[in-house]
Structure 1
């Protein structure tokens, strides 16, 4: 129950380095990256489900509007 009620860290209140440190610490973590945006960020392909791969995306952090992070995506899914 605690995991469901715990607030995810918000990347807009973290530096890019702090965001990367959180992802690296857990291997995969759900982070808030704006008022209504949550996503699961990962360190590598091993954190993804079968049939998924990793792709680069960007989150806004306190010090960087385009901090590069990895997410899992269906193989062949295009960046938007």
Structure 2
């Protein structure tokens, strides 16, 4: 009788471990690789930003940022600032915008970037 309780306890621990691992895998809690702009063409990189609306891209081994398609993907307190990144074919490719806390100089005339 006691042996069956021990076996049941071990089975429950295994089950909870399996459930926990499954939950981690399905929620994307593990670090996901960011697309590297220098491994794509300018067109591919811009299409990725445009298609996603907002995406985190690596621009080098230790550099990355969040790029957005338009002001609509920034917080209400943020402003869209034009962003250029290095790509495989162009050293400075316009891919969209980054969201910044301060209004960019080009927008201070009252014109919002879309």
TM-score when scaled to structure 1? 0.87
Query: What is the root-mean-square deviation in Å for CA atoms of aligned residues?
Result: 1.6
- Bigger relative contact order, structure 1 or 2 (CA pairs below 8 A, ≥6 apart): 1
SS in 2 for 1:5: coil
Q: Which has the higher helix share?
A: 2
Describe how 1:1-80 pairs up with structure 2 within 5 A.
Answer: 1-2=27-28, 4-69=30-95, 70-76=97-103
Segments of 4+ moved more than 4 angstroms: none
Distance 1:53 1:2 in 2: 29
TM-score when scaled to structure 2? 0.63
The answer for unaligned runs of 5 or more in structure 1 is: none
Look at both structures and tell me which one has the larger radius of gyration over its CA atoms.
2
Aligned residue pairs, count? 78
Deviations 1:18-68 (A, max 9, x none): 001111111000000111111000000000011111111211000000001
